[in-house]
Amino acid sequence: MTTKVPLTAGMIACLLLLFGLAAPVLAVQEEGDEPPPASNAYCLLCHSRPDQVWHLPSGETLPLTVDPAVLAQSVHGDANPDGALACADCHPNFRFPHPPSTSRTAREFRLERYAVCRNCHEDQYTRAQDSVHGAALRAGRLEAAVCVDCHGGHDIQPPDEPRQRVSLTCGRCHGAIFEEYQNSVHGAALLDENNPDVPTCINCHGVHDIQNPTTTLFRVRSPELCAGCHADAGLMGKYNISTQVFDSYLTDFHGSTVALFEHETPDVPTNKAVCFDCHGVHNIQPVAAGGASSIRETLLTTCQQCHPGASTSFPDAWLGHYPATAAAHPVLFAANRLYDWLTPLVIGLVGLVVVSDVVRRLRRRGG
């Protein structure tokens, strides 16, 4: 299939100008050598014009205009430590007339072209191929994100500056999830304050080698993901949040089981709760939102997701990531203290009897 580009008066002028500029080059080419790469000025003769549009067979139009100022301000522009990239660095062998494209849609054209990023970003490209996006693409899901979907084309900016850009980028395709996230405790802090500490999408999901978050493996490893921040005393200290959440979880019935599954059989599902079963995934809210009565009601509903028969006092079996105190849990506190002294006392006394008996026998044998 061939593509049709409307021939406008401006384009005719461009063609004539290009022919004039390209004549010496063409002369060299006739002698059998590779043509030199097209200069930016050569490309921008046409592509700086505002009316450049490609009409694809699908009926879509693809803007072909490139703003040199936007390109210059991108990460590949003047600020690039290795020097500004030229058009031909990403569009090699593109001289006029351009080779015909087989793409029928704008998406097909994007998928045809994005692999050029690999020339400089081999590692990121390879990891992206191993990601959930790469797998979806290979499975025929053409909408799966490729390099330029997240980073852009000519206007590429630092992907995490400001940090809000990260989640907004993901939100372009994952709109429903972004809508949940934007109202979560993490999302609100990111959007309202550009908070540097709350997680954006990539802090939990990774960047290029994003893995399927619905697997059993991801589930059993997720507590460690949360602990990355919530067990960090320095980080949590800034927000007066307890760092005991992870340790208390690991000593709890749920956490100890999940940890064992994670170590020994990470691919085997477990019905024990992980952090996001109770706190939510993208819609995580502050625990204290709505006050104590709200916490209690929410907790009962949460418990009943896995414990359908749970009564109103069942959630009180959960100490809330905090050690028992005399004020909050007097019976449990007393039981803990009782065994704190009873265990060493009994073992110490029995041990004393054993040791004294052994010593007596040794003395008798020696003397």
Partner 1 sequence: MEKRMQPESRPLSAAARFERLALVLAVVGLALTGLPQRYTQERWAEITLVLLGGIESARILHRLLAVLLLAVAIYHVLAVSYQRWVLGRHLALLPRLRDWRALLDRVLYNLGFKANAPEGRYALRIEYLVVVISVVILALTGLMLWNPIAVTSRLPGETIPTARSIHSDHALLFVVFLVLWELLVLGLWRARQQPDTAQLETPARSAEQVSRRQRLFVPLAVLMTVLVVAGLTVFLTAEQTAIPTVPRREAIVFAPQLLPESGDARVGAAVWATSRCAFCHGADAGGGVDGQPALRGSDLTLDAFYEQVRRGSETMPAFSREELPDAYVLHLWTWLSAAQ
Q: Is 168 in the site for partner 1 (CB under 8 A)?
A: yes
Q: Are strands 53-55 and 61-63 parallel, antiparallel or unpaired?
A: antiparallel
C-beta closer to partner 1: residue 23 or 317: 317
Per-residue x/- track, 288-327, partner 1 (CB under 8 A): ------------------xxxxxx-xxxxxxx----x---
Closest CA relative to residue 272, chosen from 224, 321, 216? 216
Residue pair 38/88 in contact by the 8 Å Cβ criterion: yes
C-beta closer to partner 1: residue 4 or 364: 364
Q: Which of residues 74-113 bind partner 1 (CB under 8 A)?
A: none
C-beta closer to partner 1: residue 12 or 306: 306
- Stretch of 2-10, 112-120, 199-207, 263-271 lying at the interface with partner 1 (CB under 8 A): 263-271
C-beta closer to partner 1: residue 87 or 278: 278
CA distance 215 to 221: 10
Please identify which residue in 3, 14, 49, 67 interacts with partner 1, judged by CB under 8 A. Answer: 67
Q: Is 281 in the site for partner 1 (CB under 8 A)?
A: yes
Please identify which residue in 13, 26, 41, 335 interacts with partner 1, judged by CB under 8 A. Answer: 335
Per-residue x/- track, 128-167, partner 1 (CB under 8 A): ---------------x-----x--x--x-x----x-xx--
- Stretch of 13-21, 30-38, 186-194, 223-231 lying at the interface with partner 1 (CB under 8 A): 186-194
Closest CA relative to residue 195, chosen from 225, 164, 168? 164
CA distance 260 to 220: 9
Torsion over CA: 148, 152, 156, 158 (sign): negative
Residue pair 127/43 in contact by the 8 Å Cβ criterion: no
Whole-angstrom CA distances from 15 to 46, 94, 316 are: 9, 15, 79
- Stretch of 9-17, 86-94, 198-206, 270-278 lying at the interface with partner 1 (CB under 8 A): 270-278
Size of the site for partner 1 (CB under 8 A): 83
CA distance 66 to 55: 17
C-beta closer to partner 1: residue 95 or 261: 261
Q: Which of residues 197-226 bind partner 1 (CB under 8 A)?
A: 214
Residue pair 59/104 in contact by the 8 Å Cβ criterion: no
CB of 3 to partner 1, least distance (A): 18
Q: Can you spell out the DSSP letters for 335-346? A: HHHHHHHHHHHH
CB of 196 to partner 1, least distance (A): 14
C-beta closer to partner 1: residue 21 or 165: 165
Q: Is 350 in the site for partner 1 (CB under 8 A)?
A: yes
End-to-end CA distance of the chain: 108
CB of 250 to partner 1, least distance (A): 6
Per-residue x/- track, 26-65, partner 1 (CB under 8 A): ------------------------x------------x-x
Whole-angstrom CA distances from 177 to 50, 152, 172 are: 36, 21, 10
CA distance 45 to 154: 16
Please identify which residue in 102, 120, 339, 362 interacts with partner 1, judged by CB under 8 A. Answer: 339
Rounded-to-10 torsion of CA 26, 32, 33, 38? 30
Q: Is 176 in the site for partner 1 (CB under 8 A)?
A: yes
Residue pair 35/27 in contact by the 8 Å Cβ criterion: no
C-beta closer to partner 1: residue 138 or 361: 361
Q: Is 351 in the site for partner 1 (CB under 8 A)?
A: yes
